[in-house]
Amino acid sequence: MHPEQLIHQLVVGDDRAIAAIVEASRTSDDPTILVAAALFAPDGAGLVARAGGIAATTRERQLVAIATAHLRGERDLVDALARDHLADHPDNVLVAWIAGASHSTKEHS
């Protein structure tokens, strides 16, 4: 399955997509796959660190920064970074999902 399709399935809570992304992260050098897996895998911080080490574009580096802030519980930073990122990249479903997940976690805290 194409990584974009997996991301779309992941954000709607498809358990098979989550398992596939976590599995793919073991050998992937795609920062988007690594960040997506980091949201569900036990070693999320390690996966985000790997993504940060290979992120080559501004878009990828921003994704890593947003995921890092999310995993640290820095919700205000997630909101600010995601807002800026989505202004330039409105098609980034993963960043929109992270921002929403961070916001809903904040409301339930």
pLDDT tens-place string over residues 58-67:
999 999 999 9
**pTM as predicted:** 0.88
Q: How far apart are CA 35 and CA 102, in angstroms?
A: 15
Q: How far apart are CA 39 and CA 52, in angstroms?
A: 15
Q: CA dihedral in degrees (54, 55, 61, 65; nearest 10)?
A: -40
What would the mean pLDDT of 12-27 be, rounded to a whole number?
88
Residue 68 has pLDDT above 80, yes or no: yes
What would the mean pLDDT of 38-47 be, rounded to a whole number?
92
